[in-house]
Structure 1
Amino acid sequence: MPNSEDQNPFVAAFARTERALRESEARLQALFETAVDGMIIIDPRGRIVMFNPACERLFGFTAAEALGKNVAMLMPEPDHSAHDGYIARHVETGERRIIGIGREVKGRRKDGTVFPMHLSVGEAKQDGESLFVGILHDLTERKTTEAQLVHAQKMEAVGQLSGGIAHDFNNLLTVVVGNAELLVDMLRSRPDLQKIAEAVVQAGERGAELTQRLLAFSRRQTLQPTEVDCNRLVNDMEKLLTRMLGASFTVRSVTENGLWTAYADPGQLENALLNLAINARDAMPTGGSLTLSTSNMPLDERYRDRHPEVSPGLYVMVAVTDEGTGMGPEVLARAFEPFYTTKEVGKGTGLGLSMVYGFVKQSNGHVAIYSEPGLGTTVRLYLPAVAAEAEAGAGEAPPLADAPRRETVLIAEDDPFVRSFAVTCLTAMGYAVVETSDAREALRKLGDGIHADLLFTDIVMPGGMTGWELAQRARQMLPDLKVLMTSGYALEALVEAGRLPPGAHILNKPYRKADLARRLREALAG
């Protein structure tokens, strides 16, 4: 028996149109829900009417928290105060400031942090009223990469300039010192004038030392690389530094068994460690602990994405850690620049770290500093490993523990790229993941009833609460919660300084997926 659609062509046409609209709406909803970039729809009064999951990840607000609120909540000043005026002016006059075009703007997350993003805005009509659709793309990673490239290019340019200056000054100093020495010999009968000539020689020799340091920074010093047992070198340096630094300093070494052989100039490596020890001594005016450590360190493509000047490969890492005053972000950004120093006039040339930087770069290696004010500083030197030995050792991947169950890991990590990497790894391993950007947000999640089997937290985070304090408070809420901690700071030194209890489950940055998997299983089993 024919249905009503067959009997009435108008009804059939209406039904087809309705079905097409439903299918179109379903496709648009799927696009909105699965889009990698953030998508927001607001009404003419600036109220958010749609907020996709990508926006939730981008801003830290849930859709329930954002819907119905003014979109200005996602903007820092001055856009926060001016945004409603932009919309009103457009509605009244039709003036387009950003609609139909894209530009770079700033966004503000729930935790108050500001980040760069690309914003494209389109306008649509619904029941005669304008709706504004925003497409948001996070530019944080791109900006970080650009900044790394600019810094590497700046250091390269400064190095070339310094090398040229040092070369020319060496020629001048050869003449000055040589003639001053001749005068010393010629003025034996005039001790008063001979002293002046000797002062010229001494000043010239100090100038030659400075130019030699500039040549080291500009990677123009003569190196004699060979195979180096860094464990033995570090143990020898421990004895030397113990005598040099004095009784108010404790020097210790933490070396890795089975360390690969590095390929570098051993004399220059010793000189680099000596410079780092002197800097550490100056950062601890009343004494303290200095730690020398070694480990095998493969650096992969993901690490290269954050440090474009680094070639992925197998490295031997030698680190020097102090528990001194530490450095803030502004000082840290300029630490390797020649002649940049925070010491008093006459107490430093600002070339110590520059020499270390130049030596490691000329050795085809990589150097990184991790520092926090009041916590101390770790300088890591990554030297190329001897290829055949390292590849053989790296090929023997340690077996992982049992395949992970569907346990839930709560991540507290303020670095968005490290957090993203950890989330990707843990999700691929089969864990359920709850991510937060600091300790207070992690506690809020737990307070809201989120269950977690393990807390994976950075030790040093913004907001005034450390990872260890977070772990203590989280365990008060979930007594069975397991904890795994990580940091770019040398964790052996944290334990030594009493900042971590012995036996705590810890993972050094940078870490690989296999390291993370193994440490997680150990922590969960513990």
Structure 2
Amino acid sequence: MTAPDPMSGSRDFLAGAGEMATLMRAYDWTTTPLVEPEGWPSGLRTAVRLLLNSHHPMHIFWGPEATFFYNDAFVPSAGPERHPSVLGRPASETWGEIWPVIASEVAKVRNGGGHTWYEDRHVPIMRHGRLEDAYWTYGFSPIDDDTAPGGIGGVISILTETTKRKALEDSLRASDRRHRDLLRQMPGFVAVLTGPTHVYEYVNDAYVTIAGQRSFLGHSVREVFPDLIGQGFFELLDGVYATGEPFLARGIPIRLGGEDADRFIDLLYHPIRNDDGVVTGIFVGGYDVTVQNRATVALRELNETLEQRVAERSAALLETEERLRQSQKMEAVGQLTGGLAHDFNNLLAGISGSLEMMQNRMQQGRFQDVERYMAVAQGAAKRAASLTHRLLAFSRRQTLDPKPTDVNRLVEGMQEMIQRTVGPGIPVEVVGASDLWPALVDPSQLENALLNLCINARDAMPDGGRITVETHNKWIDERASRKLDISEGQYLSLCVTDTGTGMSPNVIARVFEPFFTTKPMGEGTGLGLSMIYGFAQQSGGQVRIYSEVGEGSTVCIYLPRHYGEVGDEEGAAKLVTLDRSDQGETVLVVDDEPSVRMLITGILEDLGYLAIEASDSAAGLKVLQSDVRIDLLVTDVGLPGGMNGRQMADAARGVRPDLRVLFITGYAENAFLGNEHLAPGMSVLTKPFAMDAMATRIRSLIEGDLEAKR
């Protein structure tokens, strides 16, 4: 016995605030074979209620006449020519160009043929006054009606227009050079993470839409999303990076800070591997399926395989995109390494050749030529150090020495050198803002950045022009902070403007990317603006480019305002001869590089100090924990032996609380060194260092220790 229908004789199934619910309630159904809604079959009432409460495009063909129903989500597909006139009318009259294609499919389902499913089917449609090519993924499912022949009264369809996605897939197959633009056009969200801490390298607009406005690039996921702690996403990322096995899941609940309900996402984590097969990052992709997930419960019986098919197609598409992205990145790495090898080989040739000539001349007794070859070798070594510093700046891993700096004074002091560098045919004008705020910045690195920008400006003006260097005070409000991707506050800007060829929007969009260069192979290393970008970011600021083709370019470095005083400019340091000590001071030198220990030991002997050597942290700590007199510890930061230089020094201070320490480093191990939090009596010197600079620093630390003990 069939249970009574609780909605029989009621119009409650037409309830709702949507446009189509309103239209259906107001429609004169007596003009159709269905007559009044109170008498509609229960199967139709249930299907209409489901249709009106779904946010996914759906429509219904009911009865032999195929009377047409549809919901709000289908309105854009219907187009202005048909909406709302097709409601309640036979499909054969209102869908003239489509009905010949789908009529047999609808009839098959209505006659008991079961569910149907079609993917990316080409079904042209009349919209906007013309027949448009369109592709659809859709399925037809029967609607039960005990009063109808065969027990089926109509057909319900859930559909997705895939025209845009189909075009995207075709574009991906056509050219891997356009893959970044295609990533931005994807209907889902995309991000690229690098390294074991999962640092953001790329996000598309859809990712920002779901995650909100945050500072992504250059930051790890744990820094960007502290509100996701405990939800399992970080652990999944760690697992994919460690095992190299991809992770794919549908409908995962996620709750960001400030939200009072879960959202649901389809999510893919896929490992990125280098040529050796080692995992170097993770490709993140997926869709916000919150709306679809809430409709899934009602639609599951109608389309049991939909989710699996969409997930498989999405996974295949995302895997293709990952391969394209990795291919382009490897090509760029090859171009960069070629330029670096060229430059370093030139420098090594100058150094090794000079050393051989010095050896020959010394064997020949021609000592008057030794100094000339020595100068050549030293010059090449300094250029090699400069190239290394540019690489570290590019990666934002250099050791900076920030000082309160008057940027106007710095620019004025460089004007003559810049003018000589760019040549007399390009005048250089300096416009300094009055009362310019000071900045806390490494002045030598800022000088390098300014000189680099002026050289770039010169290269952009092959037929001559003008370079203008300007400084300004800037208040960055909320709107400007979003545009510049920096925090709100007070900044000073240093801008270099040229009247050269300018840059296209495509070049501007990529000019700060790793390895990107517009110069021919072999001309420079390709670091350029990437180095300046890294320096600005590491200094707490930002760099931006404003340019149009044929109208010149302006590059601005933004630096946070420093609220301290700037001291008087000191004169250039002069080389002095340091007297030998006769107090028997002892210095422990810990470095795993024998040549570095040899050089430092030579300096100590010239200063009259006793040197003790150790090649790793374990041996060094053993000496420090003994009763041997140690007046100063000179140690590399990166050491073998179970601990780094900072850890060894901290352990030694447990038994020698007043121990003076000089850290030497060829890399910015800031995470270990804690450069901004060095304890009193600790100092740092960056490799490669000048011998007189090392001697002066050692003498000042030891004399400071002796003065403190008096």
Q: TM-score range by the shorter chain?
A: 0.3 to 0.5
Which structure has the bigger radius of gyration? 2
TM-score (normalizing by structure 2): 0.34
TM-score (normalizing by structure 1): 0.44
Give the number of the structure with larger relative contact order, counting CA–CA contacts within 8 Å between residues 6 or more apart: 1
